[in-house]
Structure 1
Amino acid sequence: MLATLETDPIFKADVLAGLAASPPAIPARWLYDQRGSELFEQITVLPEYYPTRTETALLRAIAPELARWIEPGRAVVEWGAGAQTKTPILLNAIMPAAYVPVDISGGMLRDEATALSRKLSVPVLPIEGDFTRPITLPEQVQGQAKLGFFPGSTIGNFVPASATDLLRLFRQDLGTGALLLIGFDRVKDQARLVTAYDDAQGVTAAFNLNLLERINRELEGDIPVDKFRHQARWNSLLNRIEMHLVAREPVSFTVLGQHFRLDAGQSIHTENSHKYTPESAGLLLSAGGWTPRTWWTDPAGDFMLFLAEAEAERFAP
């Protein structure tokens, strides 16, 4: 398929630079085209994948407390909104003024926003875009107090330096006085973590391999997808799961006319999922300009939700 004028120039640049890098790596956000987003929603209900159901149950359990911590009338901005299965729990608990979902997958965003607007009595104002870049909030919510919502431990997809930059960007998007409700997956048994990212049904593998199919579709690629396999690895030094696309044998291919080659066993690094302790999560938030106010965890200690505030800048401790 020929690349068209509609091809995202940032996707193009990231793929070409990533495949040329040593070792090769492509940012995880490009896993989430329409097909990738659909596959990820399938992943969230797999028996091996605990984060979604654990965080959803935790949100339900703390809903009365959220109502005490978060005053009514804030505009809720959710980055990477996806299927928005957790969102109604939050919105029903806190009586917001508006809901602003932000997502890179425009088709799913519009479908979910339409469905959600029928269920809620507040305005739903979707923004299609890359939340790793500054966004302009709708005029209707400018001047209102804000609550950022970043569930799913999506922050774990970013290396610490990038995660810090992202949190600072969120602060810039929302302004001083904003609150942030954010999810963190906790450090736990290695075998359980690896299984969560390499399920028996192969859905996560299909999700990862879809990135190569997307490159073929959108960037004139001729990557032999069947010569790659999905692999999940635990990196104990960096406390993270890594997803890789590993070449089964030596492979050569082109993308937009540029030639690439991988040896057997060489991989394209496609995603990280960092795991946190309460202390490391609080430190990351503080580095990103957010002051932790309180946090919650589930009975098994698998997942955390932190509530933090963007305080005014201080010139002294």
Structure 2
Amino acid sequence: MHPQVCDAQQHSCTEPAPRLRIHNVKPPLVDQRQEILSGLMAANKRVSPKYFYDEAGSRLFDQITELEEYYVTRSERTILEREGRAICAYLSRDTMLIEPGSGSSEKVKMLLQHYLPASYAPIEISEYYLERAAQQLHVDFPELVVHAVCADFTSLDRMPDTVPEAPKAAFFPGSTIGNFEQGAAVQLLRNLRRMLGRRGKLLIGVDLIKHPDTLHAAYNDRQGITARFNLNLLNHLGRILNCSFDMGKFRHRAFYNQALHRIEMHLECREAHTLDVDGRVLVFRKGETIHTENSYKYSIEGFESLAGQAGFRRRQTWTDSERNFSFHCLEGV
């Protein structure tokens, strides 16, 4: 990898501020186009949930996390507020703390109240979101060294060459691991283990199995913000593919697949139509869906087994009082 190292203040590739650096290893647009087209031309259409997070999608997700129905962030905050000091006790101060899919970097601030690592490395595919969050962290924690990495964390198994070598730990909050099919989840954890090295610590959030009604409400909120978030994906795809999706021809669908213990999110086609993308015709049939996201729910024992396949052992687990959500300290073996 040969990333650019840019001055976050001047938006140029001159010598950056010593405590805040942006490392851009985002995949080329052509790679994204091919990935998206392959998914949309498949028999069962699908798009990676990473494409939710353009500027508008990132803002909508922030709104989702504050919804009454969306228990995930509320439950996780309760754990981090109550157990933050105990969680940080597993981390060494000489480490680089990596956060894959860092978003607004709000949750890591709950750890930084108890623990200041040697450096912090958020990894986020949205350049806008990453730079804004990194600059705010630089203001809130001026002594913190930040190496912000613009990249698709799902394909990384080592940090960019421009990031200094250091012992590493990772903070992976939220329930992002649930977005991956179980084979892909194991591979992602293996990549993280490789990045962290032997005995590297991973602090990870995992959503737990619960009543389907709770799950249905969380992904079909009364205000329709999750629906807007799902539909906004089409705007992002349109910019990447240089075409225009008619959002009125699709609707949001989310349901709990009890057999697989996962929420599925889809965009359902309201009417048959076609879309031309550089001479390639995408055909959408009425009732057909684009599968946009899975969100697997685990038991504690089930997740421990999954992590074991990736070379991690569970050191400690914390849950909220209602056992809606869990937070785990894993260690590479």
TM-score (norm: length of structure 1): 0.92
The alignment partner of 2:330 has SS state of strand
How has the CA–CA distance of structure 1 residues 138 and 63 changed in structure 2, closer, same or farther, with 3 Å as cutoff?
farther
Candidates 219, 227, 241, aligned match of 2:263: 241
Candidates 45, 48, 54, aligned match of 1:33: 54
Q: Deviations over 1:199-243 (max 9, x none)?
A: 111111111111111222231223221010000011111110010
The alignment partner of 1:148 has SS state of strand
The answer to whether the aligner puts 1:67 opposite 2:67 as a matched pair is: no
Spell out structure 1 runs of 4+ moving beyond 3 A.
137-141
CA distance in 1, matches of 2:202, 2:117: 14
Correspondence for 1:52: 73
Q: Is the 8 A contact 1:66 1:94 kept in 2?
A: no
Q: Per-residue deviation at 1:117?
A: 1.3
Q: Is the 8 A contact 1:76 1:99 kept in 2?
A: yes
Q: Deviations over 1:253-298 (max 9, x none)?
A: 2233311222221100000100010011111111111111110000
The answer to whether the aligner puts 1:255 opposite 2:277 as a matched pair is: yes
> Aligned letter for 2:322?
A
Correspondence for 2:19: none
Q: Is the 8 A contact 1:102 1:127 kept in 2?
A: yes
How has the CA–CA distance of structure 1 residues 298 and 138 changed in structure 2, closer, same or farther, with 3 Å as cutoff?
farther
Correspondence for 1:136: 159
The answer to whether the aligner puts 1:271 opposite 2:293 as a matched pair is: yes
Correspondence for 2:39: 18
What is the total number of aligned residue pairs between the two structures? 305
List gaps (5 residues or longer) in structure 2.
1-26
The answer to whether the aligner puts 1:42 opposite 2:63 as a matched pair is: yes
Correspondence for 1:307: 329
How has the CA–CA distance of structure 1 residues 72 and 222 changed in structure 2, closer, same or farther, with 3 Å as cutoff?
closer
Candidates 164, 169, 178, aligned match of 1:156: 178
Q: Deviations over 1:126-149 (max 9, x none)?
A: 00000011242465641x321101
List gaps (5 residues or longer) in structure 1.
1-5, 312-317
Q: CA RMSD in A?
A: 1.6
> Aligned letter for 2:268?
V
TM-score (norm: length of structure 2): 0.88
Correspondence for 1:97: 118
* Percent identity (aligned): 38
CA distance in 1, matches of 2:80, 2:226: 25
Q: Per-residue deviation at 1:110?
A: 0.6
Correspondence for 1:193: 215
> Aligned letter for 1:63?
G
CA distance in 2, matches of 1:139, 1:248: 47
